[in-house]
């Protein structure tokens, strides 16, 4: 029997204790994150937000009747636009694909087939889809992915304007203020205007040519960040906490739903 107040993180459990708990076919939450540049005002390790939220989601889902545990968070996401940043660590798509496949296999081999991925990095999305589709084809097991920041944005849209969302801006700005407030710094710098081929860099990997976007290998250090300037005055720990609470509640209800379903489809 579970002890009240005991951690739901596998990292805090002995192997025999978890083996006993696994007999009841709990839901396993697998948080995935990234370690990347968000600008001079936010910490690189947003995977810590995913891990912290995963613990709260597991507790809430357990209280709804679906016993849930949190696997260790994978801190490195798929490399995309952040190789230019010192300290930004990432995996190649091939390495991430192999790592995610191995992590899922480590659970599935023991009959733990009620799994929910809690994704905290947009660059992970294509590989998550590929790997989970392979698992469905090969094993008949459906592993859903709950994209934390996409859903957090949806929940936050009723509070802030569309121009406040973006990399380094909302929703991670207020969420970080709420969950890791000591790491937030004043945003008093902006990247200088950058160009490639004589054209203005308009966004991640794009150039502006006569009002249309042309794909080009532009990285984060060249990307303009108007959303950060727009979001900063209205961002707050209170807003972040309110959205985090809603996010946890929605995710917990989804995890509880998964826990009540047959794992194979």
Per residue in 54-78, pLDDT tens?
Answer: 999 999 999 999 999 999 999 999 9
Per residue in 101-138, pLDDT tens?
Answer: 999 999 999 999 999 999 999 999 999 999 999 999 99
How far apart are the C-alpha atoms of 166 and 241, rounded to whole Å? Answer: 19
Residues linked to residue 170 through DSSP beta bridges, in sequence order: 165
Mean pLDDT computed over 185-196: 76
Q: Which residues contact 26 (CB under 8 A, 6 or more apart)?
A: 66, 67, 68, 69, 112, 114, 259
Q: Could you give the strand order of the β-sheet that contains 206-209, starting from the edge strand earlier in sequence?
A: 195-196, 199-203, 206-209, 212-215
Mean pLDDT computed over 143-163: 96
Provide the CB-side half-sphere exposure for 180 (13 A, CA): 19
Which pLDDT value is given to residue 186?
A: 86
Confidence of residue 265 (pLDDT cuts 50, 70, 90): very low
Percent of the chain with pLDDT over 70: 94
Which pLDDT value is given to residue 194?
A: 86
Q: Which helix (H) or strand (E) holds 93?
A: helix 93-108
Per residue in 79-106, pLDDT tens?
Answer: 988 888 899 999 999 999 999 999 999 9
Domains and CATH numbers, the chain: 10-151+244-259 (3.40.50.10310)
Which pLDDT value is given to residue 244?
A: 98
Which pLDDT value is given to residue 84?
A: 86
The label of the residue with tokens 């952040």 reads 82
Per residue in 218-263, pLDDT tens?
Answer: 988 888 888 999 999 999 999 999 999 999 999 999 999 999 985 4
How far apart are the C-alpha atoms of 32 and 54, rounded to whole Å? Answer: 10
Q: Which residues contact 210 (CB under 8 A, 6 or more apart)?
A: none
């Amino acid at each position: 029997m579970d002890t009240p107040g005991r951690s739901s993180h596998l990292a805090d459990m002995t192997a025999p204790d978890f083996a006993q708990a696994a007999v009841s076919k709990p839901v396993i939450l697998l948080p995935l994150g990234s370690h990347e540049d968000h600008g001079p005002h936010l910490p690189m390790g947003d995977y810590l937000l995913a891990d912290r939220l995963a613990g709260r989601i597991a507790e809430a889902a357990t209280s709804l009747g679906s016993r849930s545990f949190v696997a260790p968070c994978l801190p490195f996401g798929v490399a995309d636009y952040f190789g230019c940043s010192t300290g930004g660590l990432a995996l190649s798509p091939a390495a991430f694909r192999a790592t995610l496949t191995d992590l899922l296999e480590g659970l599935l081999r023991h009959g733990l087939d009620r799994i929910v991925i809690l994704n905290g990095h947009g660059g992970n999305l294509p590989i998550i889809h590929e790997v989970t589709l392979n698992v469905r084809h090969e094993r008949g097991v459906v592993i859903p992915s709950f994209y934390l920041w996409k859903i957090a944005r949806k929940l936050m849209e009723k509070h802030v304007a569309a121009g406040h969302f973006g990399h380094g801006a909302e929703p991670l700005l207020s969420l970080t203020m709420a969950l890791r407030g000591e790491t937030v710094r004043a945003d008093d710098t902006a990247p200088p205007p950058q160009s490639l081929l004589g054209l203005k860099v308009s966004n991640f990997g794009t150039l502006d040519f006569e009002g249309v976007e042309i794909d080009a290998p532009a990285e984060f250090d060249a990307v303009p960040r108007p959303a950060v300037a727009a979001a900063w005055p209205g961002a707050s720990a209170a807003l972040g906490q309110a959205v985090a609470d809603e996010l946890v509640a929605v995710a917990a209800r989804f995890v509880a739903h998964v826990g009540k379903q047959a794992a194979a489809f």
